[in-house]
Amino acid sequence: MLTEKEKPGKFSPGKTKWRRRPDSRPDEIADAAIRIFGRKGFDNTTVDEIAETAGVSKGTVYLYYESKENLLVASIERRLRLNRSKFIAALGKSPNKTALSKPEVERTLASMLETMMSIISDPDSRPIMRLLLSERWKSEKLRNMHSTVAASVFKAISEYLKRAEKSGAVKCENPGEIAKALFGMVLIFALADELLGLKPKAFENKSARKTVIDFALRGLGIG
């Protein structure tokens, strides 16, 4: 369990640096937190630093988040769910009763993989990966949240692959495992850069992306 060193301070509206709509504050605080957590790590980050970066008082941070751990989980979850929505959008909105053609499946899976690679190569994704690698096993809350979001992504990909196979567009006997393989194939590039201390360069050019997409599609009997 992560330790909580900071105690909630007294709420002081006068310390807020600028006015904003109250409903935007939780996201602004979460965005500020993820930048500092990613740069300094959880243990070396204080709520005071987060509050200053977000332009609010320390009391305001605790008004929305009960603890620093809750803020860590919420800030990561916000980014993961935004990314998840991009994955789902890339899978398209064809009615379930509609048969999927081979060209349509090829375009959709290529778009999905391209979306994954764009997210992985985005500099804003690096703090998320760094925090998950360093903090996931210290916090049950973080593990549970991460597992829930990841499972929903795999399920969405798996359901699409089931439809594609039923339509005769792909060869996919184990869609659940293939969904994880497709996701993991993209993720491993960024993980290797992070774990080996290499300069982040995952999918830095179109040629590299096309190579990975073509490899994945050939494995499914298309492309």
CATH ID of 13-64, from 1.10.3720.10, 2.60.120.10, 1.10.10.60, 3.30.565.10: 1.10.10.60
What number of CA atoms fall less than 13 Å from residue 26's CA on the CB side?
14
Mean of pLDDT over the chain: 84
Q: What is the pLDDT of residues 28-50, one digit of tens each?
A: 999 999 999 999 999 999 999 99
Structural tokens at position 210: 């096309």
Helix axes 47-54, 68-90, angle to 10 degrees: 50
Q: What is the pLDDT of residues 112-153, one digit of tens each?
A: 999 988 888 888 888 898 899 889 999 999 999 999 999 999
Nearest to 108 by CA among 204, 191, 216: 216
**Top-level class of domain 73-219:** mainly alpha
Specify the pLDDT at position 135: 93
Give residue 198's pLDDT band: very low, low, confident or very high (50, 70, 90). low
DSSP 93-159: ---TTSPPPHHHHHHHHHHHHHHHHHHHHSTTHHHHHHHHHHHGGG-HHHHHHHHHHHHHHHHHHHH
Q: Where are the domains of the chain?
A: 13-64, 73-219
Q: Are 179 and 158 in contact (CB under 8 A)?
A: yes
Give residue 159's pLDDT band: very low, low, confident or very high (50, 70, 90). very high
pTM, to two decimals: 0.80
Length of the chain, in residues: 223
Q: What is the pLDDT of residues 99-109, one digit of tens each?
A: 889 999 999 99
Q: Are 65 and 75 in contact (CB under 8 A)?
A: no
Nearest to 127 by CA among 168, 76, 90, 63: 76
